[in-house]
Amino acid sequence: ARFREPDPSKPRIVLAYSGGLDTSTQLAYLAHEKGYEVCAYIADLGQDDVKDKAAIEEIRDKAQASGAYSFECVDLRREFIRDYVYECIRANCLYEGRYLLGTSMARPCIAKKQVELAWREKAEYVSHGSTGKGNDQVRFELCYLGMDPNLKCVTLWREPEYLAKFEGRQDLLDYASSHNIPVSQTKKHSYSEDENIMHISYESGELEDPAYPGVVTEYPGLVLKKKTQDLMDTPDEPCRLEIDFDNGAPVAVREHDASGAVTNSTGEDPLALFAKLNELAGIHGVG
């Protein structure tokens, strides 16, 4: 969606945007404080934030209200599964023997399309919402450099002025509120999510306080079961699955009843296959 034509006297930048607290604040800061013309770009990797047209339009409207001249939501789900998730499955990629790299594998997929949009928009700058002390900044920026070393990366979390203004998550919330930017995070529940069709992870806020009660009926008990359900609520009968692999990638899924008869079959389309496995896993409490 193109809201208006960018001012040719201002530099253009493509921001990896989620519509969440961090990047909503950064979009407004880049546009109003730093003088950039911002193209807000969100990659659809299967996260609930962009699960339907209404959800995408809500994020689009937020980008416009924050000062963007353009908004792009690009469906990368099949590419993500085929070229990134399956490649990691083939390599049996695990961090410290347990973490499936759900965030790590997504960043190159997001960054690749971001650079392509920068070329299309004739933007000299790109930006991401990653912090200045984590791994994500490296994942994004290595992709930028690998594809186009002439692109300049604006990293607000490494700028002293930005760090002084936003010393914590509460400052971000207050800034968003002062600019009438609607964000889902509240002062009561100050946490963030990273979700795609491969995984979901949470960080910040009460989650980092070991003393905070993790009761089942309130935050964060049910929040952390967004993609699965409590074992007490799962079916008593197991799910019988047969999965075919070709060169390390799944190409078919068949469900069987207790007698062994096939009750449902999903072909090799990576998106349909992965979505079916996510559905079945969630029903049966996996994760």
In terms of Cα–Cα distance, which of 186, 182, 181 is closest to 28? 181
In terms of Cα–Cα distance, which of 25, 4, 6 is closest to 181? 25
Q: Which residues of 137-158 are buried (b: 16+ CB within 10 A; e: fewer)?
A: bebbbebbeebeeebeebbbbe
Hey, which residues are catalytic here? 22, 107, 136, 192
Phi-psi region of 21 (alpha: psi -120 to 50; beta: other; left: phi over 0): alpha
In terms of Cα–Cα distance, which of 57, 84, 55 is closest to 197? 84
Helix (H) or strand (E) holding 28: helix 21-28
Q: In degrees, to the nearest 5, what angle opens at C-alpha 204 toward C-alphas 200 and 207? A: 80
The DSSP secondary-structure symbol of 125 reads E
Q: How many C-beta atoms lie closer than 10 Å to residue 45's C-beta? A: 26
Task: Quote the CA–CA distance of 261 and 255 in Å, as a whole number.
Answer: 8
- Residue 255 exposed, middle or buried by CB count within 10 Å (0-12, 13-18, 19+): middle
